[in-house]
A and B are shown apart, each in its own frame.
Chain A
Amino acid sequence: MTSGVGAPTRASISARTLRTDRWWLPPLLTNLGLFAFVAYATVRSFMGKWYWVEDYGYLTPFYSPCLSESCLPGSSHFGTPLPELPGWIPLGFVALPFLLGFRLTCYYYRKAYYRSVWQSPPACAVAEPHASYSGETRLPLIVQNAHRYFFYVALLVSVVNTYDAVVALTHGLGVGNLILLTNVVLLWAYTLSCHSCRHIAGGRLKHFSKHPVRYRAWTLVSKLNVHHMRLAWTTLGTLVLTDLYVMLVASGAISDLRIF
């Protein structure tokens, strides 16, 4: 360590950090959380079944929009412009890459995986293990600057998911509907609390006083934005929960509790 805290002019202290708290715990939990979600989402996306409950109109967000002729009858709320797909292509393949990109370039997730996966830095005032560092100035990380484009697509997908959840209500009301609706509301909250959204809503203005409506929008998004991290994790949770519920009902493992 001669480049960082071990550099010649600095106070000579050999320890990488003198922190005595459990600074390694948050990055570890982040890694476990992200890994668990990625594992679950991968398995489910490629499973190709139990994504649609015909009787109640439940469609899991992982398969929405389902646009191919391979989709189960009824699950394609927007028609089937695409032909049958080989089994190894996830049926949700139209939206999934954008949703992945949206979360990968999200300012919060960046913080999370730079700290946990890449250890840069693992925690504040804990020396990182890398010899050199160029931040987000070069490829591939310079691509993070495209986050706003993923945000635009994510808005569209939120509309699609909302449509799915509302259409399901035409079949009556069950616990599944409540789960779908909760998930959609939280997805909206996560998407709208995005830092790029905050910038687009009004953050980019120099004079708020000349744009009262956008100032109001910026104020609202700013209020949500404070909770962005919490929403990022909550929506990972609700996505898994929603999908799991649809899977269990679709496979017949449990039956949906109907209210009417």
Chain B
Amino acid sequence: MPYKAKFKVWRGDAESGELRDFLVEVNEGEVVLDIIHRLQATQAPDLAVRWNCKAGKCGSCSAEINGRPRLLCMTRMSTFTEEETVTVTPMRTFPVIRDLVTDVSFNYQKAREIPSFTPPADLAPGDYRMQQVDVQRSQEFRKCIECFLCQNTCHVVRDHEENKEAFSGPRFLMRAAELEFHPLDTADRVPSAQEDHGLGLCNITKCCTEVCPEHIAITDNALIPMKERVADRKYDPVVWLGSKIFRRSKT
């Protein structure tokens, strides 16, 4: 049954902005992005919103709905009651450009700071051979759609602007883990994860995992295993000694 829903949508730019009230039609089966599009079509033609696939696969439509970081296209209107006011704001960790659109270049910057896949020097691209059990851990992280909801939710940078320099965020610490676990990657990813990308700032409170639309177990499968590897190298004299004696650090 169509009904009129109460919406509050943040409108503004880097200078100023505010939540504006709208009353807008909702039909069965619609998602929040549909309603935003209806607002554009009817009441707010200049409302800025980023979107692309409407299928939860491009990672463009990240925003916050009733204070929770979500994809606009994957949040069904049926999760709200007809009386409920639905509040939509841009992500609150990145600089806002206009309305629901933020400047996510922080993430591109951090992505560039991670050295790319480094296969053995004597291995030509066509000759890569690896076993499924060896690549499977990295594969989970390849599901990432780069929506940056995890980066947006992580309190390390969300609540502390000054940490943005030292902290690459869950998405890119996971990228470091992905390469570290990769059977053919030869670069040493562990010290830089701690020193250059701020793994020590993460206090494993799991908000990245909680908001990831791809349900990647970021904390359990990437961040904690990386913390354990850092502990091997920096904080565990026994393992350190063992690796010196048995020279098995690359197994």
Contact = CB atoms under 8 A, between A and B. Distances in A.
Interface of A: 3-5, 7, 9-13, 15, 17-21, 107, 110-111, 114-115, 120-121, 124-128, 130, 132-137, 141-142, 145-148, 195-196, 198-199, 203-211, 215, 225-226
* Contact-residue bracket for chain B: 35 or more
> SS class of chain B's interface: helix, strand, loop or mixed?
mixed
Nearest to A219: B133
A137 B200 contact: yes
Given A18-B89, A124-B210, A195 B134 contact: no
Interface string B210-251: 110000000010001101111110111000000000000011
A148 B231 contact: yes
Contact of B93 (A5, A136, A211): A5
Given A124-B210, A204-B229, A18 B236 contact: no
A15 B163 CA distance: 21
> SS class of chain A's interface: helix, strand, loop or mixed?
loop
B161 interface: yes
Contacts of A10: 92-96
Contacts of B27: none
Given A125-B69, A141-B203, 7 more contacts: A10-B94, A18-B67, A120-B155, A124-B153, A135-B156, A204-B229, A206-B181
B14 A9 contact: yes
A146 B67 CA distance: 36
Given A3-B160, A19-B67, A13 B92 contact: yes
Contact of B211 (A19, A120, A124): A124
Residue of B159, B225, B227 with most partner-chain A CB within 10 A: B159
Contacts, number: 166
B169 interface: no
A20 B66 contact: yes
A19 B66 contact: yes
18 contacts: A3-B161, A11-B10, A11-B12, A11-B89, A11-B102, A13-B89, A18-B66, A111-B205, A111-B206, A120-B203, A128-B155, A133-B159, A135-B201, A135-B203, A136-B201, A136-B203, A199-B229, A203-B228
Contacts of A205: 251
Contacts of B220: 195, 225-226
Given A13-B19, A196-B228, A121 B205 contact: yes
A206 B159 contact: no
A22 B209 CA distance: 19
Interface string B180-207: 0101000000000000001011111111
Contacts of B224: 107, 195
Contacts of B93: 5, 10
